[in-house]
Structure 1
Amino acid sequence: MSGLLAQMTQSSLTRLEAARARESEKALWTRVSDMPPAPALRLSPEGFDIIAECKLHSPSAGDLSANTSDVESRVTEYACGGACAVSVLTEPLRFGGQLEHLTRAARVLTPHNVPVMRKDFLIDPYQVMEGRAAGAGGVLVIVRMLDKSRITALLDCAAMLKMFVLLEAFDAADLEIARDVLAQRRRHDEQILVGLNCRDLDKLTVELSRLSELAESMPAGFTPVAESGVNTVNDVGTIVRLGYRVALIGTTLMNSPQPRELLGRMLSTGRQTAMSMATRKLRIAKGEVREE
């Protein structure tokens, strides 16, 4: 495990222990079980979507709040720009996040019918419930941080709460673990997306080539998500041609003074590319054109 993930694991454990001291797991489960459902994650039939991210700080990019007057206005811009979901960082040590940001985002996004995803370094089902209590409709689960039994426990908790999961991998070994875990869940009623994060966790640099190198290794039957490194409209076209169905975009949108417009351009390019690819596949199947 990289230095960053080791630090985040310890920070997550400390926060978990403090939260349990304030509210028992039984009391938290009772509270979230009585909540109305969060907005569902709905993906466009046009073949491409964006999960837009709200984070005030990044270990690699530093302060990201210059173009953000408040969480509510930023996530509202994302929803109006067409984001299928909004990822909200709740990790305080390196990302400037807090659970209150999640609550505030969910409050303004619910009328737009857009779900919020808790993005954090989760290690225990309690934190999935904690996210749901704050209004989240989905959670991030990082394969590299957890053994298979712990991944399964987090997925089970999310499924019981009708929350979607973004299961995040960083390399081929992570994807192999993800495939093993998911192979045991074919009969489960749940919504799981599988993300490939192309950030090097030691150098904190982006290796965009990882998205192409491992595109064929993404688990079949699960929506593939490209994470990190999607910075331009051209990047969107590239990842869609590689087969990715969703992009999680954070720093680029946070740095934009007009995120709604940027989202619109990216979605338009991604969907046009996806529809063009689908049309070509249909023509190949009909024998109208030859496969290259």
Structure 2
Amino acid sequence: MTILTKIIEAKKVEVARLKQSYKLADQLRTTPIYSFIERCEQNQGLHLIAEFKRASPSKGIINAHLDPVEQAQTYQSLGASMVSVLTDQQFFSGSFADLEKVRKSVQLPVLNKDFIIDKIQIDRAYRSGADVILLIVASLDETRLTELYHYAKGLGLEVLVEVHNERELEQAQTLGARLIGVNNRDLKTFEVDLAVTERLAQLINHDREILISESGIQSKADIARVKQAGARAVLIGETLMRATNLQETLKNIFI
């Protein structure tokens, strides 16, 4: 069983519990929706998506003690265009409390990074203040992917559709996705290769689709490499979460 399979099986259990305990009437959205697509259209430069991620299956605990408010505000002050928040608890030590705190502390789009397999997760993300949700093509069949994509769009959310290969990219493009995330990490083996971004970037319609390179970006050379390939944004998590001086770290790696 791959790591992704384990995570999805755990999500099925989580969703079943959520349907018993989560009441939509208990939580109403009070914040506007911030558009990441508009930010990319207004500024043609490379955008930073800075991630709040306490742990991961491949790295274990990354930084368990950081305050999400302080970290997100620092991301904003240093020029991030969006803050990504991991909300999976079992494998990433995340929570919706983290997402809600981040939402209240910044005037940026917030991405709910999770393994979404059901509409109720989108409802919770929406009401918790997320502006963008993640749908991972590798974790959904085509019918469910299409259903969840249009459901999120119907709420006014933007959708980052994550792909790992040519077949998945074709599915994302068939959906009409504007935000396409190329994950350089294979979710089955968790190995990282930036060549994945370079390969798939050649198949992107850069006039319409916004390519986001995710995972494994740790240096100025990495950023230059994916930018050269056509990435409009990079998602960086672990490097920023481990940084003792965020300003210095970003100065050293972000172009």
TM-score normalised according to structure 1 size: 0.80
Deviation at 1:261, TM superposition (A): 3.7
User: Tell me, what secondary structure is at the counterpart of 1:50?
Assistant: strand
- 2:143 corresponds in structure 1 to 149
Q: Which runs of 4+ in 1 moved over 6 A?
A: none
Identity in percent: 30
Alpha-carbon contact 2:4-2:188 (below 8 Å) kept: no
Tell me how far apart the structure 2 counterparts of residues 216 and 132 of structure 1 sit (CA, whole Å).
Answer: 33
- 2:247 is the alignment partner of 1:260: yes
- 1:199 corresponds in structure 2 to 185
Tell me how far apart the structure 2 counterparts of residues 217 and 255 of structure 1 sit (CA, whole Å).
Answer: 33
- 2:49 corresponds in structure 1 to 51
Stretch deviating more after TM superposition (258-267 or 129-138): 258-267
Tell me how far apart the structure 1 counterparts of residues 108 and 251 of structure 2 sit (CA, whole Å).
Answer: 16
Q: Comparing both structures, which one devotes a greater share of its residues to helix?
A: 1
User: Tell me, what secondary structure is at the counterpart of 2:99?
Assistant: helix
**RMSD between superposed Cα atoms in Å:** 2.0
User: Tell me, what secondary structure is at the counterpart of 1:248?
Assistant: strand
Q: Which runs of 5+ in 2 are unaligned?
A: none
What does the per-residue CA deviation read over 1:31-77, in whole Å, with 9 as the maximum and x for residues that have no partner? 54x634233322252421011111100112221116x5311111111
- 1:11 corresponds in structure 2 to 10
Measured at CA, do residues 219 and 149 of structure 1 come closer, stay the same or move farther in structure 2, by a change above 3 Å? farther
Alpha-carbon contact 2:211-2:231 (below 8 Å) kept: yes
Q: Which runs of 5+ in 1 are unaligned?
A: 186-191, 270-292
What does the per-residue CA deviation read over 1:234-259, in whole Å, with 9 as the maximum and x for residues that have no partner? 21111111111010111111111122
Larger radius of gyration: 1
Tell me how far apart the structure 1 counterparts of residues 193 and 82 of structure 2 sit (CA, whole Å).
Answer: 25
- 1:226 corresponds in structure 2 to 213
Q: Map 1:170-185 to 2 at 5 A.
A: 170-182=164-176
Deviation at 1:24, TM superposition (A): 4.6
Alpha-carbon contact 1:91-1:97 (below 8 Å) kept: yes
Aligned mate of 2:58, from 56, 60, 65 = 60
User: Tell me, what secondary structure is at the counterpart of 1:214?
Assistant: helix
Q: Map 1:228-243 to 2 at 5 A.
A: 228-243=215-230
Deviation at 1:227, TM superposition (A): 0.7
Alpha-carbon contact 2:53-2:62 (below 8 Å) kept: yes
TM-score normalised according to structure 2 size: 0.91
- 2:86 corresponds in structure 1 to 89
